[in-house]
Structure 1
C-alpha cells in the first residue's frame, strides 16, 4: 500500500510541484487505483473516493470506454472474477453448454465422491479385509464414482488490481463497483 500511496504522491507532485502532494491531485487513474485498494473502510466509506469512482462507473457504460491507468503504480487495468474459488477437493464446473457448443460461465463446483461402502451384512474375514461392494450395481449402475455439483459462490468484490509492493511483489486488492 505504501507503494501505491507513493505513486499517487508522485502523480500529484507532478501536477503541483510547488505544494505538498495530495491524493486528490493525482491523475484519475491513480485516484481510482488508490480508492479501489482501500480496504478498511472500502472506497464507499472514504469521502474523497466517491467522486472518482462514480465517474468511473458512469464512464464504463459509454461506448469506447478505456480503463484509466495509473502508470506510476505499475498496476495496469484491473481483472474481474465473478466467482470465488471452489472448496478444497472440488473443481470448477459448468452448468450447461450453449447452442453453439461453448460452455456457459464457470458457475459450478464439482466434487468426485466414492459412493461404495463396506457392506453392513458381511461378517468374518471378508468384512475384516474391507471388502467393498458397489451398492449402485444393484440398481443397474456400474460405478461407485459419482460427481456432486453445487453452485459456485459469487464474490462480493469481483474486481481486483495486482499492485506491486515495495519489493516489486504483486499483491491482489479486491473491490466492487456497487453504489
Structure 2
C-alpha cells in the first residue's frame, strides 16, 4: 500500500493545480498512473480504476492516440517490455532472420544457452532427454560441431564430435508488460508493472 501512496502523491497536486485547457486530460492521466500503480489488487480489482483504464484501452485503438500524462507526478509515458529476462546462463536471441523485416518485430524472443552434455549426462538427459517435452516446450537442440576436417566433416562414427549443445527455447513473456517509473518520496524512481487486458 505504501508504494501506491507514492503514485497518489501526484493526484494530490491536481487539487491545487491551476485549471487550464488540458485539466481534464491531466486528471485522466493521473487516474491512469494511480491505477496502473495499484499492485494488490491490480487495477482490475479496484472499482474506481476500471472506467479510466477501459477508457485508456479504447483510446489506444484509435488513430492519433496520445498517452494521457500526469505531469505533476513526473512519471511521463509508460515503458513496455514484452519479455522476462532469460534464465541464468542463457542470453536473449531472435528467432527470425535479421535480414527479414517481418521477423525484426520478434527480436530477442528466444533464450539461448550452450550446455555440455558430456560434463553431466544425467542432468542433460533430465532436462532435454524427452523429445516430446522439448516439442511441447518448443525447445530445440543443436549439437555444435568441433574438430571439423575434410575427412569426416565433423562426424566421428556417425555422430557429431562435440559435447556442446546449443539449447534454444522461447523467452518467457511478461504477464504485466507495461510499466511506470514513479518517483517516491525521496525522488528515487520505483517501477510499477501492469497490463492492459480487459
TM-score range, shorter chain: 0.7 to 0.9
Alignment of 1:72-91 (within 5 A): 72-91=72-91
- 2:40 aligned partner: 40
Say whether 1:172 aligns with 2:173: no
- Residues matched between the structures, number: 156
TM-score by length of 2: 0.70
Deviates more, 1:7-16 or 1:154-163: 7-16
Task: Find the residue that maps to 2:52 and give its secondary structure.
Answer: helix
Unaligned runs of 5+ in 2: 20-25, 121-146, 148-154
Correspondence 1:99 to 2:100: yes
In structure 2, what is the equivalent of residue 8 of structure 1? 11
Alignment partner, residue 144 of structure 1: 163
Q: CA separation of 1:36/1:90 partners in 2, compared to 1, >3 Å: closer, same or farther?
A: same
| Structure 1: segments with no counterpart, 5+ residues | 17-25, 119-133
Quote how far apart the aligned CAs of 1:117 are.
4.2
| Distance in 1 separating the partners of 2:83 and 2:56 | 22
Measure how far apart 1:13 and its partner are. Answer: 3.4
Deviations 1:76-109 (A, max 9, x none): 1001111111111111111122634864512111
For 2:112, the equivalent position in structure 1 comes to 110
TM-score (normalizing by structure 1):
0.77
1:57 & 1:169 partners in 2: Cα distance?
29
Which protein is bigger by CA-based radius of gyration?
Answer: 1
